[in-house]
Structure 1
Amino acid sequence: MRFGVFYVLECPDHDFSRAYREMLAQIDYAEYLGFDEVWLAEHHGSDYGSLPSPQVAAAAVAERTTRMRIGIAVSNLTFDWPVRVAEDYAMVDVLSGGRLDFGAGRGYQPAEFHNMGVGDRQPVSREVFGEALEIIRGLWSKRPGQPFSFHGKHFDIDGVDCRPTPVQRPTPPMYVASISPETFELVATTGYNLLVTPTLMTLPELNRLVVDLKRRLIAGGREPLSLDFPMNWQIHLADTTAEAVADVAQPLTWYYRNVLDLLPSGPTVPPSYERYAELAATSDEAGGLTLEGLRESGVVYVGEPAGLVGEIETLYQETGLQHLICWMRFGGLAHDKVIRSMELFAEDVMPHFRDRPPVVPRALRDEVAAIR
């Protein structure tokens, strides 16, 4: 099993220099502690995130680390020209010596589409995203010097080349990100692996979707143990549960207040974003998301290491979890609290799972055995 750390890099006090220094120091320490990877998220124009160009941060990480893989969770493909995205991340793969994992998404915050000058793309973001992803895969997988063309509804390119080409062939590992059930359909029909998170759904709901999707992919011919769906989970560990809860009460409240304000809502919700609006409305009716409710639903894990070991064991057996991305620096949580949480995870959680091989989800084992 593999373990990573994750950064949106929310910066409530707008001290961006400090936030970047802390992030890079935490990544250095994560490599020392034995974490396998770091994942970086693209966001624009709000306090929600301070990494508008993950490729820039990834290049900095590539120079500071020697072993960790560098994941993107995600590059928002609706905001840029896909040829430029392919070039930038191919360069990251070269600079890192072939350590890039590329995750892509379509975005969901209306303010970001507005800030980036592509507000008209949000209603058709699934189409734009699908075409852009195919262009990037095509540019990366062709032979060096072989022109690539694509003629779609939203992008039209003819005889384009990509310089540099990625080290990893035919492409770096490619993932599609999902924080809504609808995106599972895209993965079911394209064959990509999926980045998942319970941020906008309960953990039991996410687990059901993962198992159902794996069942469909296996039935369609995918090798069961190749289905690697990294899970990004907000986690905070402390020596006692009471201490952990006290540490994150304010940062988590700030985070969820901000994310709910940024969700599509109101009378003009773009098509395919209805679930987001429903979540925002439900939260308002319930008086907002509470830390107690987030913990009970499994959206976050806040507590002691022993409890987390049990939760990960369940995920491993029930969903076939192969690697976990730990979102530990959220809502501007203090640097020393993040460092302590990372230490506890490395010391008391990671050793229980480090040598676990991939497994088929428990509910699918009889079906897979019958196929074989």
Structure 2
Amino acid sequence: MAGRLRFGAFIAPFHPLGENPTLAIERDLDLVVHMDRLGYDEAWIGEHHSAGYELIASPELFIATVAERTRHIRLGTGVSSLPYHHPLMLADRINQLDHVTRGRVMFGVGPGALPSDAFMMGIPVARQRDRMDEALDVLVPLLRGETVTRQTDWFTLNEARLQMRPYTRPSVEIAVASQVSPTGAQAAGRHGLGLLSIGATQAGGFNALASNWAIAEAQAAEAGRTMDRNAWRLVGPMHVAATREEARAQVRYGIEQWLYYFREVAALPLAPQDGSDPVDSLVNSGMAVVGTPDDAIAQIARLQEQSGGFGAYLTLDTNWAEWDDKKKSYELIARHVMPAFQDSNGNRDASLRWAADNRPRFIGEAQAAVGARVAQHVAQKGTENIRPEILAAMGLDKKPEAAE
């Protein structure tokens, strides 16, 4: 896909037990500040309420905090679980963030990822996707400043509207989470919203990329809307270092605890439990990059080919590595991976080649200009203060023969 690919992170986050949770959240804030300094475009912050690892309960509070510490990076809810909130209250919070961040907020939505969250609130898991659709049907017009009346079995809106018109016109950007099922793609297409493919590098999610986009486009066409590939984000885990060996050694710090969470809590079989190397499994399956910037470039190119083109790549933040190694990975991606997809050095390369191709002419002209000035000086002041090697280079070290 032509154009400037954006880069960011999808921060659930994942923090194993055994460390200070206050400091863990502070590191998440520091990570977004670090990304802002490195020139990343986006950071998406998750919402979870149980299971111990994913500690951020309110992405809105996190965004409000980190917005004060950053200058450029856009900040999204990744994602707000719509069945957990009355739509008017959620719309009002997002609209307020849109104003206080001066348009840097993005609104990512989904049905809710953890069944344990829904259970605690008495929400039937089987109804979560239906409730997401019902909430989205009213959130879209509310965030455009429209008045909405709607009655469902779980919320009521009577002539509801936001007190303030949105800062971003016509609305804050909205993106719908999608994995393997067509639910997210259908919802995005129905409203002409962005698509957030969270499991883009998992086998099922990878294989469904093109088909989910086709579903979204078909749904959008039925609704008289269009889909924008630039508003499509793909998410996948990635840790890079100077060499593959260094990267693999670094992720040994936390990868087993991350896999434990998905095997025993989230119940997603991401790596084998037969004693084989989990890093080999994740890398060889294409789900993760644990290697060099060149490996990261190859992964993103593979996703571009599979999907047909998208607008942003988001690193799934994993805490596989120690804090300093993790920050270095983000730095290496910014220095060596992002430029490959943003045409950052096209003009520099052309300028370098042009200067190299014309070097003989430029050097000749420069030498001639210097020689003329030296000759002028010799004619006016003599050769007393000119080094002999300079005179020799200019051919001015020979005395004219005496006239016969």
On whether the aligned pair clears a TM of 0.5, the verdict is yes
Q: Which amino acid aligns with 1:207?
A: L
Call closer, same or farther: CA 1:289–1:254 in 2, change over 3 Å.
farther
Written as runs of structure 1 = structure 2, the 5 A alignment for 1:124-139 is 124-139=127-142
What is the Cα deviation at residue 298 of structure 1?
1.9
SS at 1:67 equivalent? coil
Map 1:175-194 onto structure 2 (within 5 A): 175-183=175-183, 184-194=185-195
2:169 alignment counterpart? 169
Q: Does 1:253 align with 2:256?
A: yes
Distance 2:227 2:103 in 1: 25
1:11 alignment partner in structure 2: 15
Q: Distance in 2 between matches of 1:193 and 1:313?
A: 21
Aligned counterpart in structure 2 of residue 20 of structure 1, from 19, 25, 43: 25
For residues 284 and 252 of structure 1, the distance between their equivalents in structure 2, rounded to whole angstroms, comes to: 13
| Counterpart for residue 363 of structure 1 | none
Aligned partners of 2:131 and 2:276: how far apart in 1?
33
Q: Deviations over 1:27-63 (max 9, x none)?
A: 1121111111111011112222011000000001111
Tell me, yes or no, if the aligned pair for 2:114 and 2:266 is still in contact at 8 Å. Answer: yes
Does the alignment pair 1:216 with 2:218?
A: yes
Deviations 1:80-134 (A, max 9, x none): 212111111111111100111111011132211123x23x331111111111122
- Between the aligned residues of both structures, percent identity stands at 26
Paired with 1:104 and 1:21, the residues of 2 have a C-alpha distance of 24
Superposed, 1:94-105 pairs within 5 Å as 94-105=99-110
- TM, length-normalised to structure 1: 0.81
Aligned AA (2:332) = L
Residues 113 and 284 of structure 1: CA distance in aligned 2, closer, same or farther (over 3 Å) = farther
Alpha-carbon deviation of 1:163? 3.7
Instruction: After TM superposition, give the deviation of residue 351 of structure 1 in Å.
Output: 0.8
The SS at the match of 1:349 is helix
Give the Å deviation of 1:317: 4.0
Q: RMSD of aligned C-alpha atoms?
A: 2.7
Q: Higher relative contact order at CA 8 Å, sep ≥6: structure 1 or structure 2?
A: 1
- For the 8 Å contact 2:271–2:281, the answer to whether it is kept is no
In 2, Cα distance between equivalents of 1:228 and 1:161: 26
Give yes or no for contact 1:11–1:332 (8 Å, CA) kept in 2.
no
> Which residue identity lines up with residue 29 of structure 1 in the other structure?
H
Q: Residue 244 of structure 1 aligns with which residue?
A: 247
- Asked if the contact 1:151/1:157 (under 8 Å) is kept, the reply is yes
- Structure 1 position 151 matched with structure 2 position 139: no
Per-residue CA deviation, residues 198-221 of structure 1 (Å, 9 max, x unaligned), is: 378316414343454466368657
More off after superposition, 36-45 vs 241-250: 241-250
The question of 1:121 aligning with 2:121 is answered no
User: Are 1:300 and 2:288 counterparts?
Assistant: yes
Gaps of 5+ in 2: 345-404
What count of residue pairs does the alignment treat as equivalent? 335
CA contact (8 A) 1:11 1:50 kept: yes
- The CA deviation at 1:318 is 4.0
In 2, distance between residues paired with 1:288 and 1:179? 27
Q: Supply the AA of the counterpart residue of 1:77.
A: L
CA distance in 2, matches of 1:318, 1:71: 25
| Rg comparison, structure with higher value | 2
Q: Give the structure 2 partner of residue 344 of structure 1.
A: 332
Q: What amino acid is aligned across from residue 152 of structure 1 in structure 2? A: T
Q: Post-superposition shift, 1:292?
A: 1.9
Q: Which amino acid aligns with 2:194?
A: N
Residue identity matched to 1:349: V
Structure 1: distance between partners of 2:271 and 2:10? 25
Where 2:315 maps in the other structure, the secondary structure is strand
Task: Give the secondary structure class of the aligned counterpart of 1:307.
Answer: helix
Provide closer, same or farther for how the CA distance between residues 301 and 225 of structure 1 changes in structure 2, counting only shifts above 3 A: same
Q: Distance in 1 between matches of 2:63 and 2:87?
A: 18
Residues in 2 aligned to 1:261 and 1:185: alpha-carbon distance in whole angstroms = 31
Once residues 303 and 63 of structure 1 are traced to their aligned partners in structure 2, the CA distance between those partners, rounded to angstroms, is 34
Secondary structure in 2 matching 1:141: coil
Label 1:111 to 1:223 Cα distance change in 2 as closer, same or farther (>3 A). closer
Q: 1:307 offset after TM fit, Å?
A: 1.6
Find the aligned partners of 1:294 and 1:259 in 2 and give their Cα distance.
Answer: 13
Letter in 2 for 1:151: Q
Structure 1 residues 316 and 286: alpha-carbon distance in aligned structure 2, compared to 1, 3 A threshold: same
Q: Deviation string for 1:190-247 (max 9, x for gaps)?
A: 4322100237831641434345446636865755655521011111001111211122
CA 1:285–1:351 in 2, change beyond 3 Å: closer, same or farther?
closer
AA matched with 1:191: G
Gaps (5+ residues) in structure 1?
A: 265-278, 357-372
Q: Secondary structure of the equivalent of 2:85?
A: coil
How many Å apart are 1:4 and its aligned residue? 0.7
Which segment drifts farther, 212-221 or 234-243? Answer: 212-221
What's the CA shift for 1:164? 4.1
Aligned in 2, Cα 1:164/1:121: closer, same or farther, shift over 3 Å? farther
Partner of 2:68: helix, strand, or coil?
A: helix
Specify which of 67, 70, 75 is matched with residue 72 of structure 2.
67
How high is the TM-score relative to the length of structure 2?
A: 0.75
Structure 2 Cα separation of the partners of residues 192 and 4 of structure 1:
19
Instruction: Evaluate the alpha carbon distance shift between residue 101 and residue 284 of structure 1 in structure 2; reply closer, same or farther with a 3 A threshold.
Output: same
Q: CA deviation at 1:297?
A: 1.9
CA contact (8 A) 1:237 1:344 kept: yes
Q: What SS class does the counterpart of residue 232 from structure 2 fall into?
A: coil
- For 2:49, the equivalent position in structure 1 comes to 44
- How many angstroms apart in 2 are the aligned matches of 1:180 and 1:126? 14
Structure 1 residues 125, 167: CA separation in 2 closer, same or farther (over 3 Å shift)? same
- In the alignment, is residue 325 of structure 1 matched against residue 326 of structure 2? no
